[in-house]
């Protein structure tokens, strides 16, 4: 499982606001990711807002807008399931490149919670649901807030 060896981050996010941008596709998975992200923001004491977008590609432009508005941290959540066409590769590469550009161009941490999976079961295993093995929504918030705090300290 990809989560083996992940750090246990305890983040004091008081005074920070995290913008959670989440896709509407794959409702069960996305609800789990969003709930995990919200739980992590609350546990850290951070303010948060959830904005829902159509798919896994759309968080890039919303993240860009939020970075320009001065967001402390951004988390992008989505699911792309491998299909029979190259569409999977295009969406994954474009979303990854777009979110990376936002982070670097604006020096704003972007928590990467875009699940790129072979099948829906792999997504469910990472969605932070009761039977899930991992909680990628929570991990993305913890990573983004941790990085925001580091940037403030540097």
User: Which member of 26, 65, 87, 106 is catalytic?
Assistant: 87
Annotated binding residues for 5-amino-6-(D-ribitylamino)uracil, as ranges?
25, 56-58, 79-81, 112
Annotated binding residues for (2S)-2-hydroxy-3-oxobutyl phosphate, as ranges?
84-85, 126
Please answer whether residues 21 and 51 qualify as being in contact, where contact means their C-beta atoms are separated by less than 8 angstroms. yes
What is the rounded distance in angstroms from the CA atom of residue 73 to the CA atom of residue 20? 9
Confirm whether 87 is a catalytic residue.
Answer: yes
Annotated binding residues, as ranges?
25, 56-58, 79-81, 84-85, 112, 126
Long-range contacts made by residues 62-66, C-beta under 8 angstroms, separation at least 24?
Answer: 62/21, 63/19, 63/21, 63/98, 63/99, 63/102, 63/110, 64/98, 64/101, 64/102, 66/19, 66/21
Query: Among all residues, which ones are annotated catalytic?
Result: 87
């Amino acid at each position: 499982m990809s989560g083996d060896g992940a750090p246990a981050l305890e983040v004091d996010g008081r005074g920070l606001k995290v913008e959670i941008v989440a896709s509407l596709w794959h409702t069960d998975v996305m609800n789990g990711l969003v709930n995990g992200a919200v739980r992590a923001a609350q546990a850290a004491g951070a303010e948060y807002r959830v904005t829902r977008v159509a798919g896994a590609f759309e968080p890039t432009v919303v993240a860009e807008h939020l970075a320009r508005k001065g967001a402390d941290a951004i988390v992008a959540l989505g699911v792309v399931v491998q299909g029979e066409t190259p569409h999977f590769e295009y969406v994954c590469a474009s979303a990854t490149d777009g979110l990376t550009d936002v982070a670097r161009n604006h020096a704003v941490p972007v928590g990467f919670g875009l699940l790129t999976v072979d099948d829906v079961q792999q997504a469910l295993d990472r969605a932070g649901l009761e039977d899930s093995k991992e909680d990628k929504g929570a991990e993305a918030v913890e990573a983004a807030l941790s990085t925001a705090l580091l940037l403030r300290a540097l």
